[in-house]
Structure 1
Amino acid sequence: MDDERPARFEAVYKGAYGQITAYAARRCDSPQDAADVVAETFAIAWRRIDEMPRGQEATLWLYGVARNVLSNHRRGEVRRQARSAELDAEMADLYGNSPDSGLELAAIAQVFRTLPDDDRELLSLVAWEGLDRQEIATALGLSRNAVRIRLHRARGRFSRALTEAGVCVTSESRLVPAERPL
């Protein structure tokens, strides 16, 4: 029985992959999200292979699984957007009295969201969590020197992105929480 499972999964995968991918692609905002949904759908199918019906019903069962995965994905996206809104509000509270408030703050937040994930993480660990380079190195499993270099590059990319967006941040108007020294 166990020897049959990989072959059965492979047959269902080959037969339904295109249909499930098209189903996900039509319902997701990006190809990456669709790929994630398809991957999770087939991972669940593998884990639950003994529950999967045989024949054409297997594809129908996969549609149901994909539907549930999409629902979970959407709920996760809503939670992520809510956290982002909370973070935006927190940033507004922290920097609301600065000369860079209002529209410029919104532009800065938008530029920040366009940075690569690794850059956002490093800059967030410094600015929001207040970690120093050694603490970041420990948290990320990197050397202190690697953190120094990556942080320098991330700051440079952020600065260039702000300039390209038309946001002028001078040393006198830097966005730094009042309780944290420059």
Structure 2
Amino acid sequence: MSSGIEHEDRFRRVYAGNFQPLLAYALRRTEQPEDAADVVAETFLVAWRRSYEMPADAEVRLWLYGVARRVLANHHRTGLRRERLGERLRHRLRDVVAADPGREVPERLAIQAALARLGELDREVLTLTIWEGLEPREVAAVLRVNPAAVRTRLLRARARLRDLIGDDLAPSGHVLDVLKAPAAKEGR
């Protein structure tokens, strides 16, 4: 059995020798360079976690391509789910805007309370994305963090918010619908 230092040294060699080819592989299979970077990062994370399965150096690149291929498949499935969710949310938003705004008050209060229970960075990532309409790379620039960290935090924050509130606040409402619905302006 090799020592921890030998293990780390081997991983560093594998990373250094395969980063560029894997990035090129991912760039040719994704629409955005940021997505390719995420795929490569996830591939090496899997490689680190499963390093005991990593074959000999002569075969390691092929093994990494296999890991990257599965990561890409997950990435594409997630993209399709995101697109379908976006379409459903757009339809629901139209319903919410046309509905009675008084119905939203209890839902807004529930969301505000749930948002207060999120960590500061998670709350900021979520609100910058939903209220301000920023893309993850833009949120990353505002917060001066890595775009991959924003994407991860956004997924976790949405899941946590759904856990705190539930997916449906009312028969026709949705957590994210209420978050995006414009607040009624007070006029006298």
Quote the Cα distance in structure 2 between the aligned partners of 1:70 and 1:33.
9
Which residue type is aligned with residue 31 of structure 1? P
Of 50, 55, 58, the match for 1:56? 58
SS at match of 1:130: helix
Unaligned runs of 5+ in 1: 99-125, 159-174
Shift of residue 31 of structure 1? 1.0
Higher relative contact order (CA 8 A, sep 6+): 2
Quote the Cα distance in structure 2 between the aligned partners of 1:136 and 1:7.
45
Shift of residue 133 of structure 1? 8.9
Whether 1:89 aligns to 2:67 is no
Quote the Cα distance in structure 2 between the aligned partners of 1:85 and 1:128.
25
Bigger CA radius of gyration: 1
SS at match of 2:90: helix
SS at match of 2:109: coil
**How many positions carry a matched residue from both structures?**
128
The structure that is helix-richer by fraction is 2
Unaligned runs of 5+ in 2: 134-180
Question: Which aligned pairs between 1:12-161 and structure 2 lie closer than 5 A?
Answer: 12-96=14-98, 129-131=107-109, 135=113, 138-142=116-120
Quote the Cα distance in structure 2 between the aligned partners of 1:137 and 1:78.
27
Deviations 1:34-93 (A, max 9, x none): 111000000000011110111221011000000000000011111111111110110122
Give the TM-score, by structure 2 length: 0.57
Instruction: State the superposition RMSD in angstroms.
Output: 3.5
> Structure 1 pair 23/83, CA: closer, same or farther in 2 (3 Å)?
same
> Structure 1 pair 36/176, CA: closer, same or farther in 2 (3 Å)?
closer
> Structure 1 pair 140/52, CA: closer, same or farther in 2 (3 Å)?
same
Quote the Cα distance in structure 2 between the aligned partners of 1:88 and 1:127.
20
